[in-house]
Amino acid sequence: MKLTLRVWRQKNADADGAMSTYEVDGISADMSFLEMLDTLNEELILAGDDPVAFDHDCREGICGACSLVINGDAHGPERTTTCQLHMRSFRDGDTIDVEPWRAAAFPVVKDLVVDRSAFDRIIQAGGYITAPTGAAPEAHATPVPKPDADSAFEHAECIGCGACVAACPNGAAMLFTSAKINHLNVLPQGAPERETRVLDMVGQMDEEGFGGCTLTGECATACPKGIPLFSITAMNKEWLRATRRAGRR
């Protein structure tokens, strides 16, 4: 396959960025999108040019590092992570636009790399449980109803890639935050911080400068792990419950 790539290039956070055009040839349909970018970078390095900076880690679709907007879609045309997107999803001669996540809370570091530490601070605000020290409790000592366990597992699948933010027209982080809140709040182990968790994490999300949610649903559509849209309504319910109880104290 021969492709035309239009890639966002930006030297650093303070520099102005622009799209640069490159031609790549000999691309196999079985390559992943990141392998295709590796091929481009090999050519750039051999030509004495600066390679394109992009995030990646596991390349197995489980870490969320490979965050790219491809032809206007978070992670590209398939509902998967960028590293699991294969070039068979494109045709010979295609022009492909490759950009970083676009959100005020995700500033560009270089080229396609953005700073997603805002997600880390949201988790640090309340994404934990209280556990006593000492010997581990018996695994069956705290029964968890299967519907609650299933819900917790469903929300825990969030890998924090940020596709929900990139896809949202408002740059909201509600789907990510709700996944991190709900997967703990539905479990008995998360009960001690149930109210402070939602108040603290939503408060931190607002402080980070993410946009407001208008339930357009683009976040759930783009999520490679299928976090459901009703996760946001469940979080809103928890937040209203916590604010009412906090107001009565």
Question: Residue 249 above 60 pLDDT?
Answer: no
Q: Is 73 helix (H, G, I), strand (E, B) or coil?
A: strand
Predicted pLDDT of residue 221: 96
Structural contact between residues 90 and 3, judged by C-beta atoms closer than 8 angstroms:
yes
Q: Is the pLDDT of residue 214 over 90?
A: yes
Give me the residue spans of the domains in the chain: 3-110, 117-131+140-247
The superfamily in CATH containing domain 117-131+140-247 is Alpha-helical ferredoxin (1.10.1060.10)
Residue 132 has pLDDT above 80, yes or no: no
Cα–Cα–Cα angle for 183, 188, 192, rounded to 5 degrees: 95
Q: Both tokens of residue 168?
A: 């949202």
Residue 134 has pLDDT above 80, yes or no: no
pLDDT in tens, 75-92: 999 999 999 999 999 999
Tens digits of residue pLDDT in 174-205 = 999 999 999 999 999 899 999 999 999 999 99
Quote the pTM value.
0.93
- Write down the CATH number for the domain with range 3-110: 3.10.20.30
Q: What is the mean pLDDT of the chain?
A: 94
- Return the pLDDT at 115: 97
